[in-house]
Every structure is written in structure tokens, then in C-alpha cells.
Amino acid sequence: MTDHRIPHVTLPATAHESALELPAIGQGTWYMGENLSPRRDEVRALQHGLELGLTLIDTAEMYADGGAEEVVGEALAGRRDQAFLVSKVYPWNAGRDSAIAACERSLKRLGTDHLDLYLLHWPGNIPLKETLEAFERLREQGKIRRFGVSNFDADELETLHALPDGNACAVNQVLYHLGSRGIEYALRPLMQRLGMPLMAYCPLAQAGKLRQDLFGHPVVREVADGLGITPAQLLLAWAIRPVAGRRNVIAIPKAVQPQHIEQNAGALTVELDDASLARLDETFPAPDHKEPLDII
Ligand code: NDP
């Protein structure tokens, strides 16, 4: 059941699936399964997030060499039906047969018989047509419900969209946060036109200096303080803000610390007023020309 009090993004219907509403904030898992934090904390974090309504969980065969998928599998044991589960295939595993085998390995680690969404992690050398055929086979076999892509810029997405079944691509997952707005020039408007939701990765700028600069920025602090929220909540509420009256972005912050999970879920109910948005625009302007796709 969708909780209509929280903002959601609609995945359009496909030839095989009905339209589906997803909460606009989900959970990432990169760096889980690498012993950077105790495994039980990672498992609990994902379960806590689920309980707070962050039901989309994003993982990949790449993360911890499958270790993150195992953490997710443990978190979802006995509650698989509560999650919308997304995983990703390496570009070099996205061939006619290799994609089937990669997906089966992911399913085994995740302890489930299907993914809700399977993404091509980034564009590679295997022809897209072949990857689409493999995704369609996986769908027919019931192993995935939908497919999508990640790290596709506007030209790549247009090429994909023009292929047979390419218009069934459910999402494109790309880097997007207040300090990296390049996609707003071409990619985001294109996706808006195609009615394709965007999944925003690194919505909190992950780590390092850029993140410190953003979180500590006087304008970010001023706007966050004015709204009584944290800088992280401001960044998340900003990433999922509706544009031209439509909400089209699902942010997928990764968090292990319980207070982070709680803040991230709390960001779902933050309303950014026009004055706050304008203040952020002044300091972090939208692009006025095409920029290369930001990738981590
Ligand atoms: P994020 O921008 O989500 O940042 C994660 C960091 O933010 C962690 O250190 C986390 O700490 C911290 N954090 C989380 N919530 C808060 C909060 N409320 N306040 C302060 N700090 C907070 O970076 P990611 O790189 O993890 O991106 C998110 C997800 O996107 C990934 O986990 C992955 O699933 C996906 N991704 C996809 C890519 C692709 O190519 N398709 C590339 C990169 C990411 P802690 O864990 O200690 O709580």
C-alpha cells in the first residue's frame, strides 16, 4: 500500500507491469559488506529504513564483490515483499547469456527469486540491443520485473530509447546533488519528456572535500537552520523537489547510522519554500550549457 502522505514518484506502466508509486527517498548500499561497519549494523540500518518507509533498496553486483547484495539479502529475509529491490549488472556481464548468469548470481546472494528493477550499471561495449534482449529474457523468466540503466547521458538515452523495447527502460540512475547540477541542462528535461523517473545517486555528495564544503556551506547552513532541518535533509529534499509541478526524482542515500536513517526518512516530509529554493539557486546555479555527465 502506498502511503499518500509521503512524496512518491510514479514508475509508468509497461506492457507487462502496472504503474507503481515509489517513495521519493530510498536506500543505497555502496560500501556495505566491506567491514567498514559491523554487518549487523548494516542489516539493521536497512531494516530500520524499511520500517520508516524507505522501501526502495539499491544495490549492485559490484558493491563489495557481491557482499552488499548478501547484506541486503540478510536484511530482507522474511520481509522481501516490503522492498522494491534494485540491482545492477556490470557492463561486461550484460551479454545475451552472461546477463542471465549474472542476474542468477545476484538473486542467489539476495535470497530472492526476482528483482523489481535491474540496471545496466554504465554503458559498455556489448551492443545495447543484446543487453535489451537479455533483459527481456530475464523478464519472461520472472527474474526481473523491469529494467533500466545508469550513468547514461542524454545522447545515450536517446539511442537506447530508439531501439526495439528501449522505450520500456524504467529509469536512469545518475549522480545528482546540489553541488552537481549538470544534468539539469539536457538529461533531466529529456527524462521529464520521456516520463522516465531519475534515480539520484550520491545525493549527499558521498564523502570527502566536496561533501564537507556543501554541508558546511554558509548558505546551506542558513537555509537548513531556517527550516529547522539538517544539511543532509536539505540536500535530500532539494534533490527530490518537483520541477514544473512534477516529482520525477528518487534519491537513494546510503546510511548505516540510525540517526542518519531517521533524518533521511524525515526528509520525505520537508517542504522547501520558493524563497529557500531561490536562495540555493543563487549560490548553486543551474547550468546554462551542456556539461559532461558527472560520474563517480
Ligand atoms: P551518499 O551521497 O548517499 O553518501 C553516503 C554517506 O552519507 C555515508 O557516509 C553516510 O554515512 C552519510 N549519510 C547518510 N545519511 C546522512 C545524514 N542524514 N547526515 C549525514 N550524513 C549522512 O553516497 P553514495 O555513494 O553511497 O550514494 C548513494 C547510493 O547510490 C549508493 O550507496 C549506491 O547504492 C548508489 N550509487 C550508484 C552509482 C552508480 O554508478 N549507479 C554510483 C554511486 C552510488 P553512514 O553510512 O555512516 O550513515
CATH number for the domain spanning 75: value is: 3.20.20.100
**pLDDT (0 to 100) of residue 2:** 54
Residue 282 within any structural domain of the chain: no
Which structural domain range is residue 53 located in?
8-213+238-270
**Ligand 1 pocket mutation, candidates 87, 106, 201, 235, criterion most atoms within 8 A of CB:** 201
The Å distance, Cα 205 to ligand 1 centre, comes to 7
**pLDDT (0 to 100) of residue 4:** 59
Residue 295 within any structural domain of the chain: no
Q: Which of 63, 118, 176, 201 is catalytic?
A: 63
Query: Which tens digit of pLDDT belongs to each residue from 63-116?
Result: 999 999 999 999 999 999 999 999 999 999 999 999 999 999 999 999 999 999
**pLDDT (0 to 100) of residue 244:** 87
Please tell me the total count of domains within the chain: 1
- The pTM (predicted TM-score) of the whole model is 0.98
**pLDDT (0 to 100) of residue 82:** 98
Whether 259 has a pLDDT exceeding 80, the answer reads: yes
d(CA 47, CA 261): 10
Residue 220 within any structural domain of the chain: no
Whether 1 has a pLDDT exceeding 50, the answer reads: no
**pLDDT (0 to 100) of residue 6:** 82
**Contact 260 CB / ligand 1 (< 6 Å):** yes
Residue 60 within any structural domain of the chain: yes
Query: Which tens digit of pLDDT belongs to each residue from 23-63?
Result: 999 999 999 999 999 999 999 999 999 999 999 999 999 99
Contacts of 113 (CB under 8 A, 6+ apart): 107, 142, 143
Whether 222 has a pLDDT exceeding 90, the answer reads: yes
Residue 277 within any structural domain of the chain: no
d(CA 211, CA 278): 21
Q: Which three cell numbers stand for residue 44?
A: 539493521
**Contact 30 CB / ligand 1 (< 6 Å):** yes
End-to-end alpha-carbon separation of the chain, Å? 34
- As a whole-number percent, the residues of the chain with pLDDT over 70 amount to 98
Whether 202 has a pLDDT exceeding 90, the answer reads: yes
Question: Taking residues 173-189, what's their average pLDDT?
Answer: 97
Q: Any catalytic annotation for residue 63?
A: yes
Whether 279 has a pLDDT exceeding 50, the answer reads: yes
**Contact 86 CB / ligand 1 (< 6 Å):** no
The Å distance, Cα 255 to ligand 1 centre, comes to 6
Question: Which residues make up each annotated binding site for substrate?
Answer: 121
Residue 287 within any structural domain of the chain: no
Whether 205 has a pLDDT exceeding 80, the answer reads: yes
Residue 222 within any structural domain of the chain: no
**Contact 29 CB / ligand 1 (< 6 Å):** yes
Q: Which three cell numbers stand for residue 117?
A: 528493477
